[in-house]
Structure 1
Amino acid sequence: MKAICGKSIPSDNCSWRFAKVNLTTIEFNWHYHPEYEICLTLNSAGSKHIGDHTSYYNGPNLVIMGPKLPHSWHCKPTPPHNELIVYVAQIPAKWLDDLVYNNPELGILKNLLERSKRGIEFSQATTRESLNICKAMCHAEPLKRYLLLIELFDLMVNDQQAKVLSSNSFSNQYQQDTAVAKLDKVINYIYQHYTEPLTAEKLASLVYMSTNHLHRFFKQRTEHTLNQFINQLRIGKACKLLIDSDTQISTISDLCGFNNISNFNRRFRMIKGATPKEYRNKIKNPVTI
């Protein structure tokens, strides 16, 4: 079975991605990432497939997988839950490898990262402790979230009951996914032009796809729709302008590629939970106790 390559989009103002995902089920989807991936799965029972390893689980499950290691879960919520929860961290391999190489304090992670190329499952004690860290990450600012990631790695390193999953002989013979270049071309174009008018038709023409195919292709590989991805980039730029300048909000809306101020305000509130004006006031006039 051919594993498809997914693309991880870093969280706002971060070098890596962290997310809490609520699902009603996870269907089998054999794929891999260029990044290291940490998955904490809650409220579910089913099977996990990592490299040539397959096992069944019921309850909290914590796993780290190295770059390009194919994997998939196939599970449903356990009663009385009607949703399963996945905390996922995806960390660019070069960024993390360089961090470990250049900082002697992190040298202890070398063995963990090497073994993660085959997938590592952690003990229930470590899994329970990791949940507190993941919950804290959900509401943490980028610096605090980074420190919590290091804390999570420290927890993993000290788990004497952690076990490697895939066999030493396993290799992903399908690592060269020809669609990766097409995805990179679309994403690079978006990064260069996201403050300008963008259409799905234009993006699809870059990689010789229909617009419907592009929408499915992009969502399957990034877990974002095209509109979500573009709007997140635009809102990220707007946040920087709101913090770093006194530019009028209507002007910021135009500079960030929104077609009108109402649309800008609506999108901003959806992503940031506040209007642009409220966001600026909160950052520039923090409440002191």
Structure 2
Amino acid sequence: MNDTSVSAPEAKVGSQRNLSTARLVRMLPSPMLQLHGQQAVDLALPDNVVCFCRSSATDLNRPQQGRALHHRHVLIMAFETAVTVCVDDRTVRLHPGEGLLVLPFQFHDYMQPQQEKLTWLFVTFEMADNRALEALRFRPFEISPVIERLAAELVNCYLAPNDPNLSILTLALLLARIEQATPIQRRQSTPSTPESLITQVNQLAQRKGEMPSVKEMARLLGISSSHLRARFRASCRVSLGKHLRRLRMEKACGLLRLSSCRVSEIAEQCGFNSIFSFSRAFRTTYGISPMAYRHGGTLHRDK
């Protein structure tokens, strides 16, 4: 005979949980017709989700030493040890129990760790519309109990990938909760210019159609080309030309994976004169052809 008895403490916990759920259920209406309800509004799902942990401060800026920049979103959640996150031309000090979302094409690196040992969760992903999470730009948030439970559920789904959709849907719910969270109000370093020059350049570079030239960008920003180049280097610690070349290639990565455009169309949108020059530049940068990457190949960013 199987013993199906439940201990008194377990029964008490279960009873409390059921009571709480029952109380919530009783708050629901009791309609006679159940045909009209809540509908999805502008629902955007993340894709190509990667979860990983960093447990030492030394590893934060690896595998690429220096400022990272790519076409993916980076969700950061700090559980142990404070570190300063440099995003574009701002700095955000993340303490344990806090998080931050780095958007595509934002420079980011890490400095001033409180200690070498840390526990930070990173979730990188892609969105068909990079503007979907724009409200979270430069907006650190508190890891509330609800957000922490969803993060734990996301990690559980990721570690046991019987159904990849569970990770996608759990991350979507986590991001929705983060959007609803109250931003942390704390003094932050201000940009070097009234409006972030990096943000302005990136917005111009990501417009639909061909990427504008430096001369065209300068005209749209109301300054000379030489002034734009000098201000950008002083603010971002990298030349504008190198930054735009990286943006072109990262924009191509996103379009190859998330759009149905032909490779020739992507080459044109990213400012290349021909598919041959685009393919050559892509292979030189990433060690793989555009078509191979579109079909699931892995980039080699140290190329």
Using the size of structure 1 for normalisation, the TM-score is: 0.42
Structure number having the greater helix percentage: 1
Using the size of structure 2 for normalisation, the TM-score is: 0.40
